[in-house]
Amino acid sequence: MAQKLIYYMKIWVAMMADAVLVNVAVYLALYLRFDTPRIPVFYLDPYLRVAPYFTVATVLLLWVTRIYHRLWRYASWRDAQVLILSLFGSSVMLGLALFISRTAHYSRAVYLLYALFAVALLGGWRFLLRSFYDISWSPRSRARERVLIVGAGKAGQLVAEELLRHPEVGLAVGFLDDDMQKVGFQIGPLKVLGTTHDIRTIVRDHQIDQVLLAMPSASGRVIRPLVEECRDLGIKVRILPAINQMIGGQVSVRQIRDVQIEDLLQREPAVIDLGEIAGYITGRVVMVTGAGGTIGSELARQVAPFAPRQLVLLGLDETSIFEIDRDMRLRFPDVPVVPIVADLRDRGRLERIFGAYRPQVIFHAAAHKHVPLMEQQPDEAIDNNVAALWQLADMSHRQGVETFVFISTDKAVNPTSVYGATKRIGELLVRVYASRSSTRFVTVRFGNVLGSRGSVIPIFQQQIAQGGPVTVTHPDMVRYFMTVSEACQLVIQAGAMGSSGEIYVLDMGEPIRILDLATNLIRLSGLRPGVDIDIVFTGIRPGEKLYEELLTAEDETRTTRHERIFVHNEPPVNASDMLGKIETLIRRAADVSRPELMALIQAIVPEYQPALKSRVITAEEGTTRAIRS
């Protein structure tokens, strides 16, 4: 109650100050117009008659434009723009008041002078208040570290302002920027000291303790050499997250964080056709299966800004569905979210869900994905990744769903694992339904996403936190990686493109050695591979390959209108024969021997070659083969 009283008292004081100052501004405008403190009565009296109404109207205008609801200690140019436009509007109101009263007619110069004086007076006391807070109310603790900001763009300037307000975080010394036209110039309180090529000299000359990368749109290709340079110099390097990870695109000291592996692998932001995506999502009921997983939850977050009529989040794990539901309600309070815990294999439950919510767009991200685990339980992989997909696809066809997007994997190409084979069968099943349904069925195939649950990066991070060793299966193992944000952007974009039955393949960039990933993670933790943390080779696990493929050597692709999305050309599928084989596989999966099950899979996916069980390197062998560099 006391806080609310103080809040309204502050507004009241501001309104009273403005009421006085707008009248002072009118007097100053008339004084300057006539160049005498004794303003002619026939000019001053008409104003005095309308002054009460004009003053109240101006204060109300400032209230409507929320001038009194802004924290001026954090004022920005945007706030100043609103104030300036409001006061020029007040100038128009002054003219209208005098015109309606028919008592006087001022020259246009008076109205312009009034607006300028009003901006100077009303804006002046507000920005003096901001300066007072910056100088007097900011924490007085001496900054521990001298900070060099890389990037003198808008983000860099906002970071510099934040550091000035929070000197306990760091003392901003200057900028680096590769735009030669900025070098040597002052941007706000700081000078652009040089380009990134001068970083060694500037760090030494200015005794820099920390480098802050303020380039939210920069790719990993730009960030990697800077991080390496800072590591060689022995100084800390921190970063602002990418724009799409920032809350509302705003910069805050709370968002400054350590460099993560995703930053080193980040590519230039994909160009997304917002209108095309909105055309099939806005106003529709969208369902995401596997919504509690890494890909499913990110799909939900990226679908929400397109204003679906309803967003149905379906998954089997109640904890993850609870968490994504809570996250969505905090981030997107205006989007109707429906959390559902259900098993896609339960046909009766699925029918009730479709009957209740009538989904129009479905992103199917639910799947068992852990390769070694599915090698041990192939019948479960078939039941969840094939039978459940068939049931969902059939329900979508019967219920008239508009668009069905199936998430596949690079492990479906020349599969050596049960998981990869089930995903390839899923691709074929989706193509069968595409050939016989009015629903637009499409498949999107891509590689690994960074940081997904149970994937290599969280495992490496846990091993590093425990002091090592970090276990790598093989020194030559490579994988395609993509940030989950980019992968989901392209999945949603692909859902808006092309014809039913197409398999879209995402451009994953260059494959990355798992060994390089491990060494980078160790270094990002401030440790040395082979000195502080050992890397041990354990041997390829059952079902794994040294490298993954997005296409076979015989496959053909064609480009699309998006530079990172390609269409994989495949021959037509014999629908009845394919469905018969898949039905046999599902029916017999739990009852036959492993060799018989592999034969059933190969009848559908001839290119499936089960990997021989790899010899696991013993701990003693692994220690002798550890990377020590």
Tell whether the model's pLDDT for residue 474 goes beyond 90.
Answer: no
Highest mean pLDDT among 3-12, 83-92, 424-433, 444-453: 424-433
3-class SS of residue 491: helix
Query: Which is higher by pLDDT, 378 or 65?
Result: 378
Q: In this structure, what token pair is assigned to residue 574?
A: 């014999």
Are 543 and 372 in contact by the 8 Å Cβ rule? The answer is yes
310, 449, 484, 573 from 294: Cα distances, Å: 21, 9, 7, 32
Domain segments of the chain as ranges: 2-137, 146-265
Tokens 């501001």 -> residue: 14
pLDDT of residue 222: 83
Instruction: Clarify whether 369 is annotated catalytic.
Output: no
Taking Cα atoms as reference points, which of 350, 349, 364 lies closest to residue 291?
A: 364
pLDDT of residue 400: 93
The pLDDT tens digits of the residues spanning 214-260 come to: 887 777 778 888 888 888 888 888 888 764 444 444 555 567 787 87
For the segment 399-422, the average pLDDT, to the nearest whole number, is 92
Among 4-8, 122-126, 252-256, 404-408, the least confident range: 252-256
pLDDT of residue 70: 67
Per-chain mean pLDDT for the chain = 81
10 Å CB burial of residue 319 (0-12, 13-18, 19+) is exposed
pLDDT of residue 364: 96
Say if strands 481-482 and 403-409 run parallel, antiparallel, or are unpaired: unpaired
Among 32-41, 486-495, 602-611, the least confident range: 32-41
Query: Which is higher by pLDDT, 296 or 165?
Result: 296
pLDDT of residue 617: 36
Highest mean pLDDT among 1-15, 85-99, 184-198, 586-600: 586-600
Tell whether the model's pLDDT for residue 597 goes beyond 60.
Answer: yes
Tell whether the model's pLDDT for residue 572 goes beyond 60.
Answer: yes
Beta-strand runs (E) in 75-170:
146-150
Tokens 């460099």 -> residue: 259
Could you give the CA distance from residue 273 to residue 477 in angstroms, rounded to a whole number? 35
The pLDDT tens digits of the residues spanning 355-384 come to: 999 999 999 999 998 888 999 999 999 999
The pLDDT tens digits of the residues spanning 551-571 come to: 555 556 666 666 677 777 778
For the segment 415-422, the average pLDDT, to the nearest whole number, is 92
Tell whether the model's pLDDT for residue 424 goes beyond 50.
Answer: yes
Highest mean pLDDT among 187-201, 382-396, 480-494: 382-396
For the segment 177-185, the average pLDDT, to the nearest whole number, is 86
Secondary structure (DSSP) of 532-592 = TB-EEE--PPTT--SS--SS-TT-EEEE-SSTTEEEEE-PPP-HHHHHHHHHHHHHHTTTS
pLDDT of residue 308: 95
Q: Percent of the chain scored above 90 by pLDDT?
A: 28
pLDDT of residue 114: 84
Tell whether the model's pLDDT for residue 179 goes beyond 70.
Answer: yes
The model carries a pTM of 0.66
Catalytic residue among 236, 369, 411, 545: 411
Query: Which is higher by pLDDT, 454 or 289?
Result: 289
pLDDT of residue 389: 95
For the segment 321-329, the average pLDDT, to the nearest whole number, is 95
| 266: Cβ contacts below 8 Å, ≥ 6 apart | 218, 219, 220, 223, 242, 483
Question: 3-state secondary structure string, 299-355?
Answer: HHHHHHHHCCCEEEEEECCHHHHHHHHHHHHHHCCCCCEEEEECCCCCHHHHHHHHH
pLDDT of residue 220: 76
End-to-end CA distance of the chain: 63
Tell whether the model's pLDDT for residue 262 goes beyond 80.
Answer: no
For the segment 258-264, the average pLDDT, to the nearest whole number, is 75
Classified by CATH at the fold level, domain 146-265 comes out as Rossmann fold (3.40.50)
For the segment 17-37, the average pLDDT, to the nearest whole number, is 81
For the segment 540-554, the average pLDDT, to the nearest whole number, is 65
Q: What is the band of 59 on the pLDDT scale with cuts at 50, 70, 90?
A: confident
Q: What is the band of 623 on the pLDDT scale with cuts at 50, 70, 90?
A: very low
Vertex 619: Cα angle to 614 and 623 (nearest 5): 110
Could you give the CA distance from residue 220 to residue 222 in angstroms, rounded to a whole number? 5
